[in-house]
Chain A
Amino acid sequence: MSKLYMKGNEAIVEGALKAGVEGFLGYPITPASEIIETFAQRYFADREREKRGEKPLYPKFRLFLQMESEIASINAVMGGASVGCRVMTASSSPGISLKQEGISYLAACELPCVIVNIMRGGPGLGSIQPEQGDYFQAVKGGGHGDYKLIVLAPNSVQEMAEHTMLLFNLTDKYRNPGMILTDGYLGQMKESMEFPDIPIEKYEKPWAVTGIGNRETQNIIESLFLAPEPMIEAKTKLWQKYKKIESNEVRYEIYKVEDAKILVTAYGTPSRIAKAAVDLAREKGVRVGLLRPITLWPFPYKIYADLTTHQIDKVLVVEMSFGQLLEDVKLGVEGRAEVRFYAVYGGIVPTEKDILEKIMELE
């Protein structure tokens, strides 16, 4: 397979098209706009091909629409998911905040879809530089009510494409919305990648709203349960599904942890820099390793518990926020090791040397 060279945001589009995306509904925002722009190019190029009597490159991709708002975008995604199509939207932090109502409905109605958050600085309008301040919003809920999104955290352009494909499979498999949570660096950064070899899984959607046809019963996508009994039933079903995802779908990467006494942990952009810092520290003879959560929900609590039970004494969390991943790491470690925190925020990234310095302080 030949190598390609592209931005992370473009890789998301390539991954989605490979996964057979049928609809993209979005609204422009920096630093995520290349996603909507690349989808527009692909969509309208295919319409031109059709006009010339040629076959479209992406025959499944039949709905692209720039909507009037982030709110309309996520609700159009709800419409597309309700009729059983693979649909997605993409935005950045303030836009994702606007989508939260819709995300809560998508979770309640068990509608599979992919939502991409290319995180920028916050709170408020914040900045257009990268940060990781939306972690809680993505993994702990963000909209109202009890619900979970399957959240993947790519750390390379390659993974931007791979995770998008994987997430379409996972969201269809579990009938649950999912989010790619990454930061502005990964969205904007150009890197070489190969087309991922991830199979496109096909799931039947007998629940989809397609018109009643010859069915006896109506297919209704709804989330209103006026009496406690059906509400309890619906919520129990959701909870059981979440438990199943937690036991089946945890993903993480470990690096040089075999003999490590110190563990550095980070996701997204800081995890790449932390990896290089681990190498630098190893050259100095420090026994240090890296743990990178790939699924932020379900979170890999168990590996933190396992590693800190007899082996790791100190954990360094590196995060581009005031400490959100930090709280989940602490829940995994449960006091078995000392947890230190290195916060970088405001639109800058830590350097390898910065992280190395923090590791040496722990040594």
Chain B
Amino acid sequence: MRVSALIPKYPEPQAYLGRTHYCPGCGHSTLHKILGEIIDKLGIRKKVILIEPIGCSVIALNYLKVDGIQGPHGRAPAIATAVKRLRPQNIVITYQGDGDLAAIGTNEIIHAANRGEMFTTIFVNNAVYGMTGGQMAPTTLLGQKSTTTPGGRVAEYCGYPLRVCELLNTLDAPVYLERVSLFDLEHISRTKAAIRKALINQIEKRGFSLVEVLSNCPTNWKMSPQQSWNFVKQEMTKAFPLGVFRDK
């Protein structure tokens, strides 16, 4: 039985089925709910095609009641390219983590963004490989410990945290690039507004939009949820400054 068969006990967005498998305090649940709400408010649920990543959110379609595809690791932008071009009437969203988008799938996201593909990418950056148990991500901070950087990430050895919005901002085609976070209510609202805007860009056929969401991983960071959000607020935002990078 798919988890989507479970019916929530309290009113939820139509597009959001609730009851996720995520760890307590994980940002994915919040983000799924936000996405469900926005899909409902924009009235696009019937048209959405969501491409899931490989990572903790590999079964996002258990929680969001829309059609979708689960592709290979990092390849969502290539899949979405063909989906959107063959079915321009649909609203196509890729939901990708940092390992998926910024490591194994870097090539696909850069070229899809560079072609100005008309889909929307939600990029969840929590600076770690969550599903595989806490290995270094391309976005792991300098000094941050992971199972493959037990002494903390050292730039001379592993390079620097990869800044995706800044990287994509060198391209001509993208119309909207913003980095947001989920560490408090105010920033959750900002994230909602950014995703809404990114989807409206697609509805209005304006071009490629990406929203990078700084999130947490209390389990693999070995922190309480509150500690993890403090880490996002105090440490991650230094390496990954919030803000709008492109809005044209």
Nearest CB on B from A212, distance (A): 5
Are the CB atoms of B46 and A75 closer together than 8 Å? no
Within 8 A of A (CB), among B58-80: 58-59, 61, 65-72, 75, 78-80
Chain A interfacial residues counted at CB < 8 A:
38
Contact (A211, B111) CB under 8 Å given A63-B82, A101-B72:
no
Q: Find chain B residues with CB under 8 A from A221 CB.
A: 68-70
Closest partner residue, chain B, to A223 (CB atom): B70
Closest to A226 in B: B59
**Is A87's beta carbon under 8 Å from chain B?**
yes
Q: Which residues of A contact B87 (CB under 8 A)?
A: 83, 210-211
What is the CA–CA distance of A214 and B45 in the complex, to the nearest angstrom?
Answer: 10
A266 to chain B, nearest CB (A): 35
Q: By the criterion CB–CB under 8 Å, are A78 and B79 in contact?
A: yes
B111/A25 in contact, CB under 8 A:
no
User: What 1/0 mask marks residues of chain A from 211 to 230 whose CB sits below 8 Å from any chain B CB?
Assistant: 11110001111111000000
Nearest chain A CB to B184's CB is how many angstroms away?
33
Stretch at the interface among A66-74, A150-158, A197-205: A66-74
A80 at interface, CB cutoff 8 A? yes
Whether the Cβ atoms of A213 and B46 lie closer than 8 Å is: yes
A202 to chain B, nearest CB (A): 17
A87 proximity list for chain B (CB < 8 A): 82
The answer to whether A76 and B111 have CB atoms under 8 Å apart is no
Residue of B nearest to A102 (CB): B72
Task: Name, among B47, B58, B87, the residue most crowded by chain A CB atoms within 10 Å (CB to CB).
Answer: B87
Question: A102 to B75, Cβ gap below 8 A?
Answer: yes
Docked pose: A66 CA to B224 CA in angstroms: 47
Question: Shortest Cβ distance from A111 into chain B, in angstroms?
Answer: 10
Q: Is B81 among interface residues, defined by CB-CB distance under 8 A?
A: yes
Say whether A211 contacts B86, CB under 8 Å. no
For residue B90, CB closer than 8 A to chain A, the reply is: yes
Cβ contacts under 8 Å, B66 to chain A: 211-212, 218
Best-buried of A22, A80, A211, A214 by chain B (most CB within 10 Å): A211
Residues of the B chain whose Cβ atoms lie less than 8 Å from the Cβ of A67? 78, 81, 111
**Is A77 in contact with B82, judged by CB distance below 8 angstroms?**
yes
Cβ-based interface call for A82 (8 A): yes
A209: Cβ under 8 A from any B Cβ? yes
Q: Is B162 interfacial (CB-CB < 8 Å)? A: no
**Contact B82–A211 (Cβ < 8 Å):** no
Contact B86 A75 (CB under 8 A): no
Q: How far is the CA of A209 from the CA of B81 in the complex (A)?
A: 14
In chain A, positions 1-57 with a C-beta closer than 8 Å to chain B are 22-23, 25
Contact of A218 among B67, B71, B89 (CB under 8 A): B67
Q: Are B111 and A210 in contact (CB under 8 A)?
A: no
Nearest-CB distance from B125 to chain A (Å)?
22
Least distance between A17 CB and chain B CB atoms (Å): 16
Bound Cα distance A25, B66 (Å): 26
In the complex, are the beta carbons of B75 and A75 less than 8 A apart?
yes
Chain A hits for B108, CB < 8 A: 68, 71-72, 75
**Residues on the A chain within 8 Å of B89, using CB:** 211
Q: Which residue of A lies closest to B83 (CB)?
A: A79
Give complex CA distance A218, B72 in Å: 20
Pair B78/A218 contact, Cβ less than 8 Å? no
Q: Decide: A210 and B78 in contact? CB cutoff 8 A.
A: no
Contact B59 A224 (CB under 8 A): yes
A68-B107, A102-B72 known; A214-B46 Cβ under 8 A: yes
| Cα A218 to Cα B107 with chains together (Å) | 30
Contact A220 B83 (CB under 8 A): no
Question: For window 10-52 of chain B, which residues contact chain A by CB distance below 8 Å?
Answer: 45-49, 51-52
Choice from A62, A69, A82, A220 contacting B107 with Cβ under 8 Å: A69
Which residues of the other chain, B, contact A71 by a CB distance below 8 angstroms? 75, 78, 107-108
* CB < 8 Å neighbour of B58 from A65, A213, A224: A224
Interface 0/1 of B174-210, CB less than 8 Å to A: 0000000000000000000000000000000000000
- Determine the distance from Cα of A78 to Cα of B69 in the docked complex, in whole angstroms: 9
Inter-subunit contact A209/B67 (CB<8 Å): yes
Instruction: Report A127-167 CB contacts with B as 1/0, cut-off 8 Å.
Output: 00000000000000000000000000000000000000000
Within the assembled complex, what's the spacing in Å between the Cα atoms of A71 and B82? 13
6 closest residue pairs by CB, A with B: A79-B82, A79-B79, A75-B78, A68-B111, A75-B75, A76-B82
23 CB-based A-B contacts, threshold 8 Å = A22-B86, A63-B86, A67-B111, A68-B111, A71-B107, A72-B111, A73-B78, A75-B78, A76-B82, A79-B80, A79-B81, A79-B82, A82-B79, A83-B82, A83-B83, A105-B71, A209-B68, A210-B49, A211-B46, A211-B67, A220-B67, A220-B69, A224-B59
17 extra interface residue pairs, beta carbon distance < 8 Å, beyond A79-B86, A224-B59: A62-B86, A65-B81, A67-B81, A71-B78, A71-B107, A76-B78, A78-B71, A78-B78, A79-B82, A80-B86, A83-B86, A102-B75, A105-B72, A210-B49, A212-B46, A213-B47, A223-B70
